[in-house]
């Protein structure tokens, strides 16, 4: 199949590159799983990002329509669509940033780990493509179960000899967005003024909000701490149940993924002092992967920040999180050693 390109008629007359931004060239990003529930709104938001000059939309279904649609937005980013496995390499070649929301979402009654059997193979195939075609790209991995898919991606890159732990980032921004929202509701303030560090991983008890470290510094009653921790840990399930079988969080996730990708792009451009929570290779605990605040830079997660002081409630939460995380990480690594 031919590659689809924005304004194919016009680009036959003048190459697409001439129609990209007039100023300095921007970054090139690919979204893998671009036709999905997250992929479509994320494609829309990334088409609006002024730091991107090129956006590649890849999926195994429906990219012609999504690409045609998104490409009519009058922003300067050039959009190209790629459909099916035979176009994966073309989608990835030359990319600086690869965002991966490909794979099955949960239905009510399922855990994220129930997605492992389907999504592990999808993530492996896509990351093999990254290793082949854009080994220096920064990867933002969204596909669940993130606690296992990030270790899978790391093993793929190790096998290919391209692994740089700084460039592989599991996206946990939605946990932070939820924590900010729910805490703001309790405090009666604007969520944009709240920042809650969320550490650990991205499933149930592994999602550990550090309410003792929030900005602005605030204190909570024991009941508030229990309510907030529970709601943040089960925010994904709240959406899955409300959607009643039609999927999991897509719109808030696209918002969170676009925010995180923008933070990565600004850091790649050289902006200093960008700190976000992300699930990365880490020595903060005895586990090989852990989500904490990380300082982003040109090369990805350039500094993993420490956990900071925890109270008794958070220390107990940390032990529960590590117990589950250890198994999820092991499961991912074992999948790749088969
Ligand atoms: P969806 O089913 O709506 O979309 C997934 C897309 O992936 C589909 O378009 C599908 O065709 C595509 N896909 C399947 N196999 C592929 C392959 N081999 N290559 C490329 N694309 C492929 O699902 P969704 O709601 O968009 O969720 C996607 C994933 O993101 C799920 O695993 C979900 O659990 C996860 N998720 C993660 C977070 C997070 O915070 N990290 C939040 C929400 C959802
Ligand atoms: C979320 O947190 O919304 C995602 O991980 C999707 C899910 O399955 O809950």
On whether the CB atoms of residues 99 and 32 are closer than 8 A, the answer is yes
Name the band, by pLDDT with cuts 50, 70 and 90, for residue 22.
very low
With a 6 A CB cut-off, is 248 part of the ligand 1 pocket?
A: yes
**What mean pLDDT is reported for the chain?**
94
How confident is the model over 79-99, as a mean pLDDT? Answer: 98
Beta strands 300-304 and 289-297, pairing class: antiparallel
Lowest model confidence (mean pLDDT) among 22-36, 242-256, 278-292: 22-36
Task: Examine the residue annotation and report whether 56 is marked as an active-site residue of this protein.
Answer: no
Looking at residue 58, the DSSP 8-state letter turns out to be E
Looking at the predicted structure, is the pLDDT value of residue 21 above 80?
A: no
User: ipTM strictly over 0.90?
Assistant: yes
Q: Distance between CA 309 and CA 93 in Å, rounded?
A: 43
Identify the residue whose C-alpha is closest to ligand 1 atom 4: 36
With a 6 A CB cut-off, is 122 part of the ligand 1 pocket?
A: yes
262 Cβ contact list (under 8 Å, min separation 6): 49, 51
pLDDT at 10: 55
How confident is the model over 216-240, as a mean pLDDT? Answer: 97
74 Cα: distance to centroid of ligand 2 (angstroms): 32
Span 258-286, pLDDT tens digits: 999 999 999 999 999 999 999 999 999 99
Beta strands 168-170 and 138-141, pairing class: parallel
58 Cα: distance to centroid of ligand 1 (angstroms): 12
How far apart, in Å, are the Cα atoms of 120 and each of 22, 68, 112, 139, 334? 41, 30, 12, 16, 11
Instruction: Give me the residues paired with residue 281 across strands.
Output: 289
**Is position 178 annotated in a ligand binding site?**
yes
Burial class (CB in 10 A: 0-12, 13-18, 19+), 197: buried
Looking at residue 182, the DSSP 8-state letter turns out to be H
Looking at residue 215, the DSSP 8-state letter turns out to be B
Q: Distance between CA 56 and CA 72 in Å, rounded?
A: 15
The residue from 80, 167, 202, 322 that is catalytic is 202
Looking at the predicted structure, is the pLDDT value of residue 105 above 50?
A: yes
Looking at the predicted structure, is the pLDDT value of residue 130 above 90?
A: yes
With a 6 A CB cut-off, is 112 part of the ligand 2 pocket?
A: yes
Terminal Cα-to-Cα distance of the chain (whole angstroms)? 34
* Rounded percentage of the chain residues whose pLDDT exceeds 90: 92
Looking at the predicted structure, is the pLDDT value of residue 158 above 60?
A: yes
Name the band, by pLDDT with cuts 50, 70 and 90, for residue 311.
very high
Span 245-255, pLDDT tens digits: 999 999 999 99
pLDDT at 338: 82
């Amino acid at each position: 199949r031919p590659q689809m390109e924005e304004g194919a008629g016009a680009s036959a007359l003048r190459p697409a590159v001439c129609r990209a931004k007039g100023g300095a060239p921007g970054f090139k990003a690919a979204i893998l799983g671009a036709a999905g529930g997250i992929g479509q709104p994320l494609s829309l938001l990334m088409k609006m990002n002024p730091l991107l000059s090129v956006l590649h939309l890849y999926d195994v279904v429906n990219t012609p329509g999504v690409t045609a649609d998104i490409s009519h937005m009058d922003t300067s980013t050039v959009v190209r669509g790629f459909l099916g496995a035979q176009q994966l390499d073309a989608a990835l070649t030359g990319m600086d940033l690869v965002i991966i929301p490909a794979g099955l979402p949960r239905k009510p009654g399922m855990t994220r780990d129930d997605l492992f059997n389907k999504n592990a193979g999808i993530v492996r195939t896509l990351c093999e493509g990254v290793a082949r075609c854009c080994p220096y790209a920064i990867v933002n991995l969204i596909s669940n179960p993130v606690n296992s898919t990030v270790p899978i991606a790391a093993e793929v890159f190790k096998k290919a000899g391209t692994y740089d732990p700084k460039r592989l980032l599991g996206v946990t921004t939605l946990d932070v967005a939820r924590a900010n929202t729910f805490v703001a509701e309790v405090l009666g303030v604007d969520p944009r003024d709240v920042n809650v560090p969320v550490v650990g991983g991205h499933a149930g008890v592994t999602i550990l909000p550090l309410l003792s470290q929030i900005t602005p510094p605030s204190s909570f009653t024991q009941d508030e701490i229990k309510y907030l921790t529970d709601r943040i840990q089960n925010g994904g399930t709240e959406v899955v149940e409300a959607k009643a079988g039609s999927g999991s969080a897509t719109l808030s996730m696209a918002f969170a993924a676009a925010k995180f990708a923008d933070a990565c792009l600004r850091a790649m451009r050289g902006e200093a002092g960008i700190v976000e929570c992300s699930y990365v290779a880490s020595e903060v605990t005895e586990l090989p992967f852990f989500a904490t605040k990380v300082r982003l830079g040109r090369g990805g997660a350039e500094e993993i920040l420490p956990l900071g002081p925890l109270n008794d409630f958070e220390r107990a939460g940390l032990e529960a999180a590590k117990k589950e995380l250890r198994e999820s990480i092991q499961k991912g690594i074992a999948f790749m050693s088969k």
